[in-house]
Amino acid sequence: MSSSGSTASPVVCPLAKLGRGVSRYPRPASCTSLIFNSSVDSPLRTNIFKGSSSVNDEDEDDPRHSRLYRNLDEDDDDDDEEEEEDECHRSVRSSRVRRVDLDALDAADAYEYRYPHSGADGGHFFTNEKLQQDTRFFDPSYKCRYSPGRNSPYLDQGYHTLVSASPSGWPTTTTALPSSKHKKTQPKCNYFDGVTDDILVRVFSSLSTNELCTVSRVCRRWYNVAWHPSLWRTITLSGERMCGDVAVRSILRRLCVGGGGGQNQNGGGYCSSIRQLFVCEGAKITDKGLTLLSRRCPQLTHVQLHNCPSLTDSSVCELVSRCPSIQHLDVTGCSLISSLNVIPGAILPHKLLVQYLDLTDCISVQDSSLRIILRNCPQLTYLYLRRCVKITDAGVKCIASFCSSMRELSVSDCHLVTDFALYELAKLGSNLRYLSVAKCGQVSDVGLKVIAKRCYKLRYLNVRGCEAVSDDALVAVAHSCPRLRALDIGKCDVSDAGLKVLAENCPNLKKLSVRNCDLVTDRGIQFVCYYCRGLQQLNIQDCQITLEGYKAVKRFCKRCIIEHTNPGFF
């Protein structure tokens, strides 16, 4: 260690214990008393050397410094041992003595333990050259013990030693260190301190509802940013463990502002930032939660409530009454919902702006309730009544009467719908682009011919499972609807002849399904692939298609995805 002011001189401490010294080797009482002269009531007695890189200026050439941390030779002669003891006396007595308070020591000082045991091989040093860089040695909770070897003259009997920086290459050892009252800790660097709140808002805008709630627990600043109203335009409640009522109440408690945000009729605050609500993937919400949401969020425009069996007409009526801006309403799987009004035959105070309505699997919907819905939703454009098994031709007739701008309609699996309903739907004319009458067993060629003639702008037609549909209807559709993009005629009575006419007149066909069409062979598939080069998806499951037809598809429609059940195609 240099004697310059930049490097602190080490504090050299003889081995001391607040009690009695222990050693495997006998020493004269005089030497022991000089080295172990501290008691429980007294501070350590230490040797302090300043302005020198070694223990003494006269010891710079001492051969002991070239052989540090070496075990004593147990075979030394008695004469050598006596000389070592005398040298030990001289070394200790020649030192200047100072009392050191251990509690005043910190990591900034240099410490060194030196046991001046005399011997031909020199003394023993216990140092730590990385102590000043490793602050854990000054942590009271950290303990590192020195375990002496078999030949070491010292046994670890609880000695409290101080260690310090030493020349490079010296061995390192330490035991439990005293805690420092002036512990120096470097301030933690928080990289988000340089990020403004506006940037954090933009980052948080990509998080979901659950993730926003999670990051709000990080710190006070993130809490304030995470609950910024601009981040809560959409609420998504998903997962079977999600209780919708509790989640809605908790979110609205933080977002609703009674003073600056405005007051509703009941005196409670409302949140004008929320626009969309999604309840899906097993999450449940009841009438209580939906009513609270409709009262506090009057600006809702998009509501999706999937599989909420506890919802009834009362909460839905409250929703559409207090949120007049709703345009998208999806209540799929809500089996208790039958209408948008609690009182049968009553008219809502205002016309609804609903353009999209999905009542799939709402088995309580009847013709009368459907009439109320359609009468109050004159702008309805997309209507899905899949598996509403109580709907008949009378209910379908109201669609053309009240919603003349209907573009997409699905009455699939409504087995009470017949050709008469198709006569009424034909009144929609060119506005109708999407029609699904799948598994409506009473629909036949007669009804489809009327639809094809009047609704000539059809893009999608699904007649899957209508076994009364044959090549006659397929030919009529092919001639009248050249803009057809997707067609599902699975399990219909069609053949290769009908497919040939279809392929010649509808070259822009993208999707085709002939699943379970027993009369379709490789010849019909070859016609379709040759004329419809842009085909993207073809379903030929459970058909009499061989490898020849499969190769034709791969030859002419290279990007086509084939759905099949023939193991020979793999």
> For residue range 189-235, what is the model confidence (pLDDT) as tens digits?
666 677 777 888 888 888 888 888 888 888 888 888 888 888 888 88
Does pLDDT of 163 surpass 90? no
What contacts 89, CB < 8 A, 6 or more positions away?
30, 31, 34
Nearest CA-CA partner of 277 in 257, 255, 261, 260: 255
Does pLDDT of 149 surpass 50? no
d(CA 43, CA 540) in angstroms, rounded, equals: 94
Task: Please answer whether residues 399 and 374 qualify as being in contact, where contact means their C-beta atoms are separated by less than 8 angstroms.
Answer: yes
How does residue 268 score in pLDDT terms, banded at 50, 70 and 90? low
**DSSP run (H or E) holding 279:** strand 276-280
* Overall average pLDDT of the 445-459 stretch: 95
Phi, psi of 112 (to 5 degrees): -155, 135
Does pLDDT of 490 surpass 90? yes
Q: What is the pLDDT of residues 78-100, one digit of tens each?
A: 555 555 555 555 554 444 444 44
Residue that wins the pLDDT comparison between 552 and 131? 552
Does pLDDT of 330 surpass 80? yes
The mean-pLDDT minimum among 2-11, 101-110, 154-163, 380-389 falls in: 154-163
Please, which residues bridge with residue 436 across strands? 410, 462
DSSP code at position 13: E
What percentage of the chain carries pLDDT values higher than 70? 62
- Predicted confidence at residue 82, as pLDDT, reads 53
Q: What is the pLDDT of residues 382-414, one digit of tens each?
A: 999 999 999 999 999 999 999 999 999 999 999
Angle (nearest 5°) at CA 218 between 215 and 223:
70
How many other C-beta atoms are found inside a 10 Å radius of the C-beta of residue 442?
A: 17
Task: Please answer whether residues 347 and 373 qualify as being in contact, where contact means their C-beta atoms are separated by less than 8 angstroms.
Answer: no
- Predicted confidence at residue 13, as pLDDT, reads 47
| Helix pair angle (445-454, 471-480), 10° resolution | 0
Nearest CA-CA partner of 209 in 238, 183, 171, 182: 238
Residue count of the chain, please give it: 570
Does pLDDT of 266 surpass 90? no
d(CA 1, CA 368) in angstroms, rounded, equals: 99
Does pLDDT of 273 surpass 90? no
What percentage of the chain carries pLDDT values higher than 90? 41
d(CA 305, CA 377) in angstroms, rounded, equals: 19
- Predicted confidence at residue 131, as pLDDT, reads 41
Strands 537-539 and 511-513: parallel
Give strand ranges (E) for 306-407: 328-330, 356-358, 382-384
Task: Please answer whether residues 316 and 342 qualify as being in contact, where contact means their C-beta atoms are separated by less than 8 angstroms.
Answer: no
**How would DSSP label each residue in 429-462?**
GGG--EEE-TT-TB--HHHHHHHHHH-TT-SEEE
- Predicted confidence at residue 200, as pLDDT, reads 85
Does pLDDT of 473 surpass 70? yes
**DSSP run (H or E) holding 67:** none
- Predicted confidence at residue 570, as pLDDT, reads 59
What contacts 233, CB < 8 A, 6 or more positions away?
273, 274, 275, 276
Q: What is the pLDDT of residues 45-83, one digit of tens each?
A: 343 333 333 344 444 444 444 343 344 344 444 555 555
d(CA 23, CA 34) in angstroms, rounded, equals: 15
Q: What is the pLDDT of residues 293-308, one digit of tens each?
A: 988 888 899 999 999 8
- Predicted confidence at residue 186, as pLDDT, reads 59
Does pLDDT of 510 surpass 90? yes
Under CATH, which number does the domain 232-391 receive? 3.80.10.10
User: pTM for the whole thing?
Assistant: 0.64
d(CA 65, CA 88) in angstroms, rounded, equals: 15
How many other C-beta atoms are found inside a 10 Å radius of the C-beta of residue 278?
A: 18
* Overall average pLDDT of the 147-169 stretch: 42
Does pLDDT of 350 surpass 60? yes
Residues 141, 38, 78, 96: is their CA dihedral positive or negative? Answer: positive
When the pLDDT of each residue in the chain is averaged and rounded to a whole number, the result is 74
Does pLDDT of 544 surpass 70? yes
Q: Which two tokens stand for residue 513?
A: 């399904």
Q: Give first-to-last CA distance, the chain, whole Å.
A: 78
Query: For 468, what's the count of Cα atoms within 13 Å in the CB-facing half-sphere?
Result: 15
d(CA 219, CA 341) in angstroms, rounded, equals: 46
How does residue 29 score in pLDDT terms, banded at 50, 70 and 90? very low
- Predicted confidence at residue 51, as pLDDT, reads 36
Task: Please answer whether residues 456 and 430 qualify as being in contact, where contact means their C-beta atoms are separated by less than 8 angstroms.
Answer: yes
Q: Which two tokens stand for residue 523?
A: 């010849």
Q: Which two tokens stand for residue 8?
A: 């602190």
- Predicted confidence at residue 283, as pLDDT, reads 85
Locate the domains of the chain by residue range.
Answer: 1-186, 232-391
- Predicted confidence at residue 349, as pLDDT, reads 60
Task: Please answer whether residues 118 and 109 qualify as being in contact, where contact means their C-beta atoms are separated by less than 8 angstroms.
Answer: no
Phi, psi of 7 (to 5 degrees): -115, 125
- Predicted confidence at residue 190, as pLDDT, reads 67
What contacts 140, CB < 8 A, 6 or more positions away?
177, 178, 179
Amino acid at 280: C
**DSSP run (H or E) holding 97:** strand 97-100
d(CA 239, CA 285) in angstroms, rounded, equals: 12
What contacts 486, CB < 8 A, 6 or more positions away?
459, 460, 461, 509, 510, 511, 512
* Overall average pLDDT of the 130-157 stretch: 42
Please, which residues bridge with residue 462 across strands? 436, 488
- Predicted confidence at residue 230, as pLDDT, reads 84
Task: Please answer whether residues 500 and 526 qualify as being in contact, where contact means their C-beta atoms are separated by less than 8 angstroms.
Answer: no
Nearest CA-CA partner of 68 in 21, 130, 149, 127: 127
How does residue 491 score in pLDDT terms, banded at 50, 70 and 90? very high
| Helix pair angle (496-505, 471-480), 10° resolution | 0
- Predicted confidence at residue 240, as pLDDT, reads 80
